[in-house]
Structure 1
Amino acid sequence: MFDFTPPSEHTGFASSDAFDELRGFVEEHREGLFAAAELLGATPGLRLAQAALDGVAAPQLPTRSTMRALAGLLDLLMLEHVHDPSRIEAAQFALIDPASPVVEDICLLADGLEEALTSCQEGVAGRAAA
């Protein structure tokens, strides 16, 4: 019923140290991530962001569903699906003025989230190699 599983065997996290940078980024940019997700993905994007950010804010290490939600949020921010007319991202993206300052904000959030996720994954890989 609940999605919590021991992190070391399912997500690869040996400790919360590898997760701290990601958690810090999400806490610092929470409102911006919500706004960007809603702008790019409407209600489904907002729900995705809610799932990802709530999972990161939880006191335990991330679950697999949290990591999937974070990957989905990163895809949304990186505009991975805006060329697929069957997805809501295409319609939402078409409504955004390319000259709007929000475009730069979304790019910065996407880059920051990608960097935090990469650092988190490298931290886990480094612990596994040690």
Structure 2
Amino acid sequence: MFDITQFSDTTRLAPAGELREFVEDHRDALLDTADWLGDRPGLRLAQAALDGLAGAGQVSRRTLRLLDDLRDLLMLGHVHAPTRHETPRLALIDPADPRVDEVCLLADGLSAAIDAYRDAVASSLRDPERAAT
């Protein structure tokens, strides 16, 4: 009935493929969450980071920096920094809000995707022949 393709363990996405796939699958949630946590500056940050992944090939250092900043926002990395624009907004969030659990899962997923990308790039730099297979 359905044509389902099974991927073997040897079939891998290009290093940026998994990161792009995560972002594509969670694009709306990333944008909504960045807006909720960081207001318009958070939304602009998320849009810039996601737009940076739209092209093919390696992920630029700028895009990785933006993704790290987005991860920090989602993980409330600057919640106690008085000079950050999102600090007052974050203080108003009720920890019992059901969206908090979703934010945590989204942040963990984004973090894992970023780390996996960096690990794959580092591995390909150490062993270029293995990365080509």
Which residue is 2:36 aligned to?
39
Post-superposition shift, 1:19? 0.6
Query: Residues 37 and 86 of structure 2 are in contact (CA less than 8 Å); yes or no, is this contact kept in structure 1?
Result: yes
Partner deviation per Cα, 1:71-120 (whole Å, 9 max, x = no partner): 11011111111101221221111121111111001100110000000110
Q: Aligned pairs, how many?
A: 115
Q: What are the equivalent positions in structure 2 for 1:1-130 lying under 5 Å apart?
A: 17-130=14-127
Post-superposition shift, 1:42? 0.7
Structure 1, gaps ≥5 residues long: 1-15
Kindly report the root-mean-square deviation, in angstroms, between the aligned alpha carbons of the 2 structures.
Answer: 1.2
Partners in 2 of 1:118 and 1:64 — Cα distance? 14
Secondary structure in structure 1 of the residue aligned to 2:31: helix
The higher radius of gyration belongs to 2
Secondary structure in structure 2 of the residue aligned to 1:57: coil
Q: Output the TM-score relative to the length of structure 1.
A: 0.84
Q: Report which stretch shifted further, 108-117 or 61-70.
A: 61-70
Partners in 1 of 2:93 and 2:32 — Cα distance? 13
Partners in 1 of 2:94 and 2:55 — Cα distance? 35
Secondary structure in structure 2 of the residue aligned to 1:88: coil
Q: Percent identity?
A: 51
Query: Residues 37 and 90 of structure 2 are in contact (CA less than 8 Å); yes or no, is this contact kept in structure 1?
Result: yes
